[in-house]
Amino acid sequence: MSTPVIQTDAGREGWEAIVSDPSTAVISSDFDGVLSPLVEDPARSRPVEGALDALARLARTVNQVAIVTGRPALVATELSGVSGHPGLGGLVVLGHYGLERWDAATGKVTSEPVPEGVATARDRLPGLLREVGVPDAFVEDKDSSLAVHTRRLEDPVGALELLRAPLTALAQETGLRLEPGNLVLELRPPGIDKGVALRRLIESTGARSILYAGDDLGDLTAYRAIQEQRETGLRGVLLATRSSNATELIEAADIVVDDPSGVVTVLTALSDAISAR
C-alpha cells in the first residue's frame, strides 16, 4: 500500500521517524468519528471494519497503542471491543480525557477523583434545559463530565446556540469548563483534556515519535501538545477525519481523510511501511 498524502514537512518527518524506529513510537487515536463512524445514539458506536486489526498489527512493533476518548474508559472499552482482542494485549484506553486509564494487560481502571462540581451540574441540568426551552436535549452522563447533545433535535444548531450562554454560566458557577464539539457542549473538570493525557502518555513511554488521529474540536488540545513537543525533538503525525467538519483541526492536520475507513487505510499503510523497512 502506498504512503498517504502527507501535507507538511513535519508530518513527513513524523512518518519517517515512526517507520525507522517503531519501538519508540506511540500510535494514539480518538474513538468516535475516528475509529467508529458518528451515530445519533452514542451507545451504538462500533469500530469500522478493519480498525482493530490495523491497530493490532501496529501493536506488534510500536512502543504503545492507545485510545484517547472523552467517554468513560470502560464504556469505550466495551463499545470498541478491544478487550480480549488477541493483538491488543498491551493497549491502553485513556477515558474521560485522561482522568481514567484502562490497561488491557490487567483489565483494571485507575482514576483520579471527580470534582464535586460535576454532581452539582448534574442536579441542575434538567431544570436549566427546561428553562432554556430545550428539555429534549440529550445529556450524556460520563460520570466525570456531562455532555449536552443537540443532534437529535429539530433545530440542532439553534438549540446549541440557545444553550451556550446558560451552560457557560453553569460551568463558571460549578468550577467546570465548557468545551464545544460537534453539536455538543460538554461540562468538564478543568485541567483535564486530551493534550494533558497525551503529554502524560509521551512522558511515561519515553516516546520519540507519535501519531494521533482525531476528528473534533476536543482533539485540538492533543494536536497542540504534539506541536509544542515538536519544538523539543518529538516527531509527530497529526491525522484528521472530516467526520465532524472541524475546520480548525483539519487545517492543522498533516494527513486528512474522509472517515474512519480512511484512518484504517492510513494505519495499514504505516504498518506496511514498517514491515518493508
Q: What is the pLDDT of residue 1?
A: 62
Q: What is the pLDDT of residue 181?
A: 85
Q: Which residue has the cell 481514567?
A: 100
Q: What is the pLDDT of residue 257?
A: 97
CA distance linking residue 269 with residue 116, whole number of Å:
45
Nearest residue to 125 via CA among 78, 170, 175, 159: 170
Q: What is the pLDDT of residue 206?
A: 96
Amino acid at 106: T
CA distance linking residue 67 with residue 213, whole number of Å:
9
User: Can you give the pLDDT of all 277 residues of the chain as single tens digits?
Assistant: 678 999 999 999 999 999 999 999 999 999 999 999 998 888 899 999 999 999 999 999 999 999 999 899 999 999 999 998 999 999 999 998 998 999 999 999 998 888 899 999 999 999 999 999 999 999 999 888 899 999 889 999 999 999 999 999 999 999 999 988 888 999 988 888 999 999 999 999 999 999 999 999 889 999 999 999 999 999 999 999 999 999 999 999 999 999 999 999 999 999 999 999 8
Percentages of the chain per state (helix, strand, coil), in multiples of 5? 45, 20, 35
pTM of the complete model: 0.82
Cell numbers placing 203: 512522558
Q: What is the pLDDT of residue 100?
A: 92
